[in-house]
Amino acid sequence: MNLLRKPLLWILLGMAVLCSCSEDEPEQDDTKHIMPEMMVIFSPDGLGDGCYNDQILRGIELMLNEHEQDVNIMFITPNDLEDVAFLTQYWLETLDEPSDEEGNIPRKLLILASSEYADIARGLLGDTQLDINRSILAFEAQDNGDETEQIRTFDFSMYGASWLAGRTAQLLGCQKPLVLLGNGDNATTFDGRDGFVDGFKLAAGENATVDVGAIAMDWRGYGMPTETYQKMYEYDGKYDFIYSISGGSNMGIYRYLREFPECGIYTAGMDIDQSPYSTLIVGSMVKRIDLVLHDYLLNWYNKVEVPRYQHFGMESGYIDWQIADRYSKELKEQVDALRQEAIKKEKEHANDQK
C-alpha cells in the first residue's frame, strides 16, 4: 500500500505521537529504554460522544493511573473504513523495528475500537505473526471459529439486557415498540434485537408485534443523529417505545424527545446511563467497556496472555439493564426480580445459536 496517498493522516499521526509524551518525563537514552506503544483507532463518532468512545478513554486512563511507567499512545478518529485499513496497514508495516541494546523488543498494541474493524485487520494480517509484544485487540468482534486466530477479540451478549428492556416496555404498558438498528447488516447487534423482541413478546403475548428497522445497511448508520432526528417525525404517533442500538445516531432520538416530550415515546440509553438526556429514557443498556479495556490493558502491560476470544454476558457484570433513577421504585423492583430469568434466557439463546 502506498502510504503517501494519505498525507493528512501522516500529519495526524505525527501530532498524536507528540501529544502522547508526558511533559514531566525526563530525558532518556532511547537506546536503553523503549516505551510500550498503543495506537487506538476509535469509531467515527470519536472522543466526546458522551458514551462508547469516552468510556474507552476512561478505561485507558484507569490503567495508566495504576503504574508509573508511561506508554506512548496515539488516539485517532478515522473518517471512514478506508482510513481504518490505511492505519492498520501502517501499523503492520512498522512492526519490524530493532531491539534495544538490552535485547528488548519494542512492544506495540493496536486497539480497533469498533465492531466494524476486526475483518479489516484479519484481511490485512497476511503472514504477519503477532505475539505478546505485537498485539491487536478488536472490540465487539464475533468469534470466527479459527483456533489459530492471532487477533484478540471480545464481544458482549446484549440479549439478556435487551430482554429486560423488552419486559420493561411491557411493564410500562407499551403496545407498539420499534427496534432500530444502526447497521441492519451488523450481526453483532442481532442478539440485542432478538432479546428485546423475545422479552416483550413473552410478557405481551406471541400475537404482539415488534417492528424492526435500520438507519442504514453499513457502518454509517452509527453516526447519523440528524437523519435519525428527522425520522422521529415519522415515528411519532406510530410507536410508543424505540429501542435503538445505533451508537451516535441515538442522539437524534434524545434531541427529539427533549424538544417534544409530550409525544410520550419511551426509549433506552446505550453503553452508559444516558437518562439525563431525556425524561423519556426509562433505562439504559450499560456496557462497562472501560473495565473490560482496563483489565485487558493491565494484562498486556504485564505480559500476561489472554484468551483469543472472550464473550461477556450479564453474568459477567460487564453489561446490564439499568432503570433510570427518576422511575418508580416499584418498576425497579419488578425488573430486578426478572434479572435471574434474563440470565437464564441469555444462556438458552446462546446455546440455540451454536
Q: What is the mean pLDDT of residues 234-240?
A: 97
Rg (Cα) of the chain, in Å, rounded? 22
Lowest mean pLDDT among 92-106, 113-127, 247-261, 303-317: 92-106
**Cα dist. 182→92, 244, 257, 270, 308 in Å?**
30, 8, 18, 12, 27
Confidence of residue 68 (pLDDT cuts 50, 70, 90): low
On the question of pLDDT at 354 being above 90, the answer is no
Q: Alpha helix locations (H) across 274-321?
A: 289-301
pLDDT of the residue at 15: 41
Hey, what amino acid is at 54? D
CA atoms in the 13 A half-sphere facing the CB of 318: 20
Lowest mean pLDDT among 52-66, 165-179, 274-288: 52-66
Cβ atoms 293, 268 nearer than 8 A: no
Helix, strand or coil for residue 283? strand
Q: What is the mean pLDDT of residues 163-176?
A: 97
11 grid coordinates: 500529519
Q: What is the mean pLDDT of residues 74-95?
A: 92
* Total-model pTM: 0.80
Q: What is the mean pLDDT of residues 77-91?
A: 93
Q: What is the mean pLDDT of residues 277-299?
A: 94
Residue 52 CB partners (closer than 8 Å, separation 6+): 43, 45, 113, 247, 271, 287, 289
Query: Cell 443498556 identifies what position?
Result: 285
Q: Structural domains in the chain?
A: 3-22+35-156+289-314 (3.40.50.2300), 159-287+316-353 (3.40.50.2300)
Distance CA 91, CA 107 (A): 12
pLDDT of the residue at 278: 95
Lowest mean pLDDT among 19-23, 88-92, 231-235, 267-271: 19-23
Confidence of residue 116 (pLDDT cuts 50, 70, 90): confident
Cβ atoms 219, 239 nearer than 8 A: no
Distance CA 212, CA 113 (A): 26
On the question of pLDDT at 19 being above 60, the answer is no
Mean pLDDT over the full length of the chain: 86
Q: Of the segments 2-11, 104-113, 263-272, which one has the largest average pLDDT value?
A: 263-272
